[in-house]
Amino acid sequence: MNTDYFVKKIKSLLPLFAVIFSFSPLISKAQESAKDGGNENHGLDKAAQKAFGDLAHFKNQEVPDIIGTVVGAALSFIGILFFVLIIYGGITWMTAAGNETQISKAKNLIISAIIGLIIVLAAYAITSFIGGALT
């Protein structure tokens, strides 16, 4: 059997596993809260409070402020994702051992990640500018 095929399949599934495992603390807290005897919404308030802390400050905010917080968090997450891609491209380049196809793939990955990072930073700057102008 070809081991490269399995390595490629595992590498392609790594982002999926990362997303699943990043939400596992939230799932376990929700299950724990449901076991504690939740109210009519099945303990979701307790689970949210255990996972995110006191959410009372969101009740006093207006919709544009909440949207701005969500957009800022999403852009930050995407920026971190591009940063990880740059690191992965660097590791791929270092471990290429002179293989020109691996080196070119790593270069293309790094260039694409840098372009994506620039786009995300520009989107954040535009969002920040428009949000500042509107408030």
Could you tell me the pLDDT band of residue 104, with boundaries at 50, 70 and 90? very high
DSSP characters over 41-74: TTTHHHHHHHHH---HHHHTS-HHHHHHHHHHHH
Q: How many CB atoms lie within 10 A of CB 103?
A: 15
Domain map (residue ranges) of the chain: 1-55, 61-135
pLDDT in tens, 52-81: 666 555 666 777 777 777 877 888 888 888
- In three-state secondary structure terms, 97 is coil
Do 89 and 106 meet the contact criterion of CB atoms below 8 Å apart?
yes
Q: What is the mean pLDDT of residues 47-56?
A: 62
100 vs 72 pLDDT, higher one: 100
The whole-number pLDDT of residue 36 equals 55
pLDDT in tens, 4-17: 666 676 677 677 66
The angle subtended at Cα 76 by Cα 75 and Cα 82, nearest 5°, is 90
Q: How far is CA 63 from each of CA 60, 67, 83, 111, rounded to the nearest angstrom?
A: 10, 6, 30, 37
Give the best-scoring range by mean pLDDT among 5-19, 41-55, 82-96: 82-96
The whole-number pLDDT of residue 38 equals 47
pLDDT in tens, 114-133: 998 888 888 888 877 887 77
